[in-house]
Structure 1
Amino acid sequence: MPPSHPSDDDRVTEEAADWCLRLQAEEASDADRAAFERWCREDPRHVAEFDAMRELWGLSAGLRPRVTASLAVVPTPEAARPAPVRGRGSDAVAVRTPGRRRRWALAAGIAAVLAVGWPVGWSFGLLPGTVDVFLGGDRHRVVDLPDGSTVDLNVRTTLFYAQFRDRRSVLMDRGEAYFAVAGDAARPFTVFTAAHRVRVTGTKFNVWANDGELAVTLAEGAVTVSAAAAAGEEPLRLTPGQQGRFARDSRFGSVARVDPARVLSWREGKLVFDDITLAEAVPLLNPYLSQPLRLADRRVGAMRIGGVYDIADLDRVVASLPRVLPVTIAAKDGALLLSAR
């Protein structure tokens, strides 16, 4: 499918918001639902955008179209259901994904329509009382959550926090954050990424997410980590000093012993690479670079790198790679292509 024009994306988002409202109404008829199913069949983006809009407000799962079994539908987490939004931080920048900005703007309109029923939704644990949005910028920052937890946000990381009557939910599609969670056994704390969830009651842990990949490093306490696609399967259970990793599109993760201080060195402005491959290093480097790195092939991705690097100096480190590894660097399509020499 050719890429859509931004105005077309706006149209799809607006139509998805309209269907959320129409199907939520008690007077929604069979004709309305039939028209909705026809709309879903017209374009796979329709279903994906509708599901994304429905996730934002935790609208009934029954609103999902009956035709979605034959369509490519974006998986939906159970609990990360934002409500009215309050931005935090004077140095905040815009959310990186334009579609999400549009959804939140339209979701604000849905909130106004649903405002009368909000107290009822809160009392039954269906809707959050508040949602806070912490927008990632170009530097590490520490934010305080309303429940008393604190979060270190790494660069270009955006976090949505929703506080329900009986649970606390964080949505973080990509990026990196270190959580010091305030203990509250009655309200579990769950971090949702694009394809995984990390569940705790009170603990300290690091989450790194990138295009479906996930690494969770536990410093204190205990967490469980599971893939959204592996509902019902036994989750990974981590103890302090362990890291759980999920590869892209993997239902099952692996556990390894790590040094949390090395993993968390980004909080001190350092990156520590302990003889890892370039394929592993590039996703860790890219958030800090003025131009992202791309690997030409598996051969260059298999080369290894180690050392302690100053985050503020990583552009210079990348420029020096041809002097320490048999590689070349060339600018291509807004990125730096790393090829074997």
Structure 2
Amino acid sequence: MGTPHWALKDSGAPDVRFRGLAAVSRNTAWLAGTRGTVLRTTDGGRSWRNVSPPGAGELQFRDVEAFDARRAVVLAIGEGEASRVYRTDDGGRTWTESFRNTDARAFFDHRHGLAMSDPVDGRFRILSTRDGGRSWTVLPDTGMPPALPGEAGFAASGQCLVSSGPKDVWMATGGAARARVLHSADRGRTWTVTDAPIPGGDPARGVFALAFRDRTHGLAVGGDFRPDQPSADAAAHTADGGRTWRPATASPPAYRSGAAWLPHSRRAALAVGPTGTDLTTDGGRTWRTVDTGSYDTVDCAPDLGCWAAGEKGRVARLEH
């Protein structure tokens, strides 16, 4: 395969940082970011429609999950009631607020999904929806391992909670003495936990994003998000569903906040961060930098439509 490269698109929002991204296809993608901004394209990024929820200007959207060009769920983070979930069924013309006070989200299909918040009373809180995000219920925490002191999920790219298949979901953590990955095989009711080889030991370090191409093969990326700090061992991979993780033998050279498998590939994936994009063609064992532009998040659609987004309104589509 040729070396992929990013083709920048003009979002028309240079004052917005986009950490939420959902790739529907090569033509359709959704962005969610600061200033309560939600954008949508249906023409491959040539034009973007501002479909932000009314009155959301003070919110920070960190995640978006789109089922198609009309249906999407966006999530905002912040103190107290600034954390909200909205859903649209008409391409963003109207929005319905469905929940307040949560953190990150993953969907198994167009109806079933989970959301998470940072630990409450020593355990991560998991919420579940069975109607595509229109309503949410808090799951019992009896199957959730205790959180470590200072442990949290990083809302850097919307990829600290990811799913694969009808029941499997993984959650990445950092900020504690050890970076960890939690796994549930029953849609969030019971969890196991494994230490990740990406360094922790500081509130700025840990696993920031996960990507699974099936229920066994996964990638983890992260590091130290402070620009003046090194990020050794910024990537890891698993072949057993997250029971064990191995560090990459040649990691990305710096902190990475997002990751995505290239569609229909068993070995190729991308990792993005503020200092560049890295490509692996061996399932996460080795990485090489292919672009030096700043991106926070990356997502790919089945039709080979891969998108990345980040600070200063940056958005791009992958070309081969």
Specify the structure having the higher radius of gyration (Cα).
1
Looking at both structures, which has the greater relative contact order when contacts are Cα pairs under 8 Å and sequence separation is at least 6? 2
What TM-score do you get using the length of structure 2 for normalisation? 0.31
The answer to which structure has the higher helix fraction is 1
What TM-score do you get using the length of structure 1 for normalisation? 0.30
